[in-house]
């Protein structure tokens, strides 16, 4: 297991370096973005020139990347935002908790609802309940998440007035007891989480159904039934573990999509998280902030993929560590 984890760590380092290379060259590919900024902000020419030097845009591509990568990876210097002069690292770190609250909530609720729905659908395949869940899955996968989010906002915020349309904590939030602060945040999380849940539940329930249908037709499951075991025991003790193996693979795709989807969620609901930070930095051509945010998004995505590999190895007994 130690060798397996070490190999995964080496792969992680290689992929992270590759991501930084792609981030740097994609931002530099259209040309020097600081030239346009100099035209738009002539009074910031000295600051823009310092940022150009920090980004390595004054040198050739290879030397420029080497200088920039050394700063962010080895020196811990992520630069400063072009406009408010705040450290990029500090701005990113303060936004991560908000983004994680939404995406972790979506992930946990998606697992708690999607997997049981898939199992229920498989146990009653070709029944009315199965067809209903299948139709829901296809709709959830097909409907654009941003459209569903706008629909939720229109219904629960504009029409009914039950929930805030955006991230709007109470004015006396800081003076509230902890339990009231948690409830106020939960109230603001409802619509963003529901927006992400539709596609997550639909995907997980669909894959779980297909996986369980394949597993319950295996000989060892038939043998367990022939021994007189209850259907519940057959499903949850003998079939479920193997049925979950493909779900681990699906999760390695779901988690990155949730991380990247935070840009859309936070933009729609005006949530001050990493997604909103990335959008604003790109829109305002704040290159140091955009580069840092993209690297952090990539880092979180790679972490989720590596964790998926480890969990897959733990769940699937056929995986060898040699």
Q: pLDDT per residue over 125-179, tens digit each? A: 889 999 999 999 999 999 988 899 999 999 998 888 888 887 777 778 778 888 8
Q: Which residues pair with 80 in a beta bridge?
A: 87
The more confident residue out of 316 and 281 is 281
* Mean pLDDT, rounded, for 107-136: 92
* Mean pLDDT, rounded, for 200-205: 92
Q: How far apart are CA 74 and CA 62, in angstroms?
A: 17
CA 171 distance to own-chain centroid: 30
Q: Which numeric CATH code is attached to 93-315?
A: 1.10.3720.10
pTM, whole model, 2 decimals? 0.83
Q: How far apart are CA 190 and CA 102, in angstroms?
A: 9
- Residue ranges per structural domain of the chain: 2-75, 93-315
What's the CA angle centered on 302, arms 301 and 307, to 5 degrees? 100
Q: What's the CA dihedral at 294, 295, 300, 303 to 10 degrees?
A: 140
Q: Which residues fall within 8 angstroms of residue 136, CB to CB, at 6 or more apart? A: 202, 205
Q: How far apart are CA 30 and CA 16, in angstroms?
A: 23
Q: pLDDT per residue over 54-101, tens digit each? A: 888 888 888 888 888 888 888 888 888 877 888 999 999 999 998 988
Q: Which residues pair with 87 in a beta bridge?
A: 80
**pLDDT at 316 (0 to 100):** 67
Q: How far apart are CA 69 and CA 107, in angstroms?
A: 32
């Amino acid at each position: 297991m130690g060798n397996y984890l070490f190999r995964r760590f080496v792969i992680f380092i290689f992929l992270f370096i590759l991501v930084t290379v792609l981030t740097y060259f994609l931002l530099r590919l259209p040309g020097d973005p600081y030239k346009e900024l100099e035209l738009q902000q002539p009074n910031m020419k000295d600051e823009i020139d310092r940022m150009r030097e920090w980004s390595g845009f004054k040198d050739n591509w290879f030397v420029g990347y080497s200088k920039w990568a050394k700063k962010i990876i080895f020196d811990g210097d992520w630069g400063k935002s072009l406009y408010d002069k705040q450290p990029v690292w500090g701005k990113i770190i303060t936004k991560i908790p908000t983004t994680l609250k939404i995406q972790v909530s979506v992930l946990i609720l998606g697992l708690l609802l999607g997997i049981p729905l898939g199992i229920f659908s498989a146990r009653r395949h070709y029944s009315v309940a199965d067809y209903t869940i299948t139709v829901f899955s296809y709709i959830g996968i097909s409907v654009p998440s941003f459209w569903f989010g706008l629909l939720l906002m229109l219904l629960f915020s504009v029409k009914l007035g039950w929930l805030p349309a955006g991230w709007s904590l109470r004015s006396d939030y800081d003076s509230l007891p902890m339990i009231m602060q948690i409830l106020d945040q939960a109230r603001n999380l409802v619509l963003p989480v529901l927006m992400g849940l539709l596609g997550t539940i639909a995907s997980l329930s669909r894959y779980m159904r297909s996986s369980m249908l394949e597993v319950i037709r295996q000989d060892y499951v038939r043998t367990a039934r022939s021994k007189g075991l209850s259907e519940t025991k057959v499903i949850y003790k003998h079939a479920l573990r193997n049925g979950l193996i493909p779900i681990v693979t699906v999760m390695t795709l779901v988690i990155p999509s949730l991380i990247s989807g935070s840009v859309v969620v936070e933009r729609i609901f005006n949530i001050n998280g990493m997604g909103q930070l990335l959008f604003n930095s790109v829109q305002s051509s704040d290159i140091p902030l955009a580069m840092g945010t993209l690297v952090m998004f990539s880092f979180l995505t790679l972490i989720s993929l590596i964790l998926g590999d480890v969990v897959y190895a733990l769940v699937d007994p056929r995986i060898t560590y040699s």
